[in-house]
Amino acid sequence: MKNLSIVSVIVALSGCQSMFIPPVTLDTDGSISTMTGVIDGATASQLSEELADNLSVNTLVLKGIPGSIDDESSLADVYKVIDDHQLTLIVPAEGYVASGGTDMLLMSRKRVIEPGACIGVHSWAMGEGGELVEGGQLPRDASEHQMYLDFYKKAGIDAEFYWFTLEKADSENMHWMSAEEINRFHLSTVDVLDLQNENEQQRTARCENRIDEMEI
């Protein structure tokens, strides 16, 4: 649900040697399908086909989702597939989601974030009059916020989480959430244990290194 989504993806992948934008891949084993890559206009149909071919799948593991391209339409279509199939979404301890990937996680009513998983958020931005305008620069009653507020309301997430994402990082940076922040906004339907004992700087380094190491 973040505008300027190609920048969002580049931010999440900024530590990687290549700026190749990796498409979604799905690897299914029994009732579990594992997803990696960037959400785009083909993701919803790709997921639908995978579920049709594997009727026992009830869980989608988000191993590495750095963001989305063409957010509004791509994520809306994916939302419908997840909702129709009532999938449980899991971010594993060694995985990460960021930007539109984090929004994708929130599409399920059953969400599990394992301790150590990296959850990245930041502001959206839009071009206006040749200048980049950050969502956090607009007053809270600006009409541009409504689409995002409607999304989080539909997902059952408190509106304060939306304002939090705008405040914690601009569109060219990423904030990696602590277990306390994840639990405060109920991003996981099962509370996340804080097993890392790390400060924000250490968490940022760990999550950025993870993206580098995964080489999606």
The pLDDT tens digits for 144-154 are 999 999 999 99
- CATH code linked to domain 25-214: 3.90.226.10
> What mean pLDDT is predicted for residues 128-152?
91
Range name among 42-56, 102-116, 129-143, 174-188 with the lowest pLDDT average: 129-143
Burial of 191 from C-beta contacts in 10 A (0-12 / 13-18 / 19+): exposed
Q: How confident is the prediction for the chain on average, in pLDDT?
A: 89
9 — pLDDT class (breaks 50, 70, 90): very low
Give residue-wise pLDDT tens across range 79-95.
Answer: 999 999 999 999 999 99
- For residues 159 and 163, give the distance between their C-alpha atoms in angstroms, rounded to a whole number: 7
Place of tokens 């791509």: 74
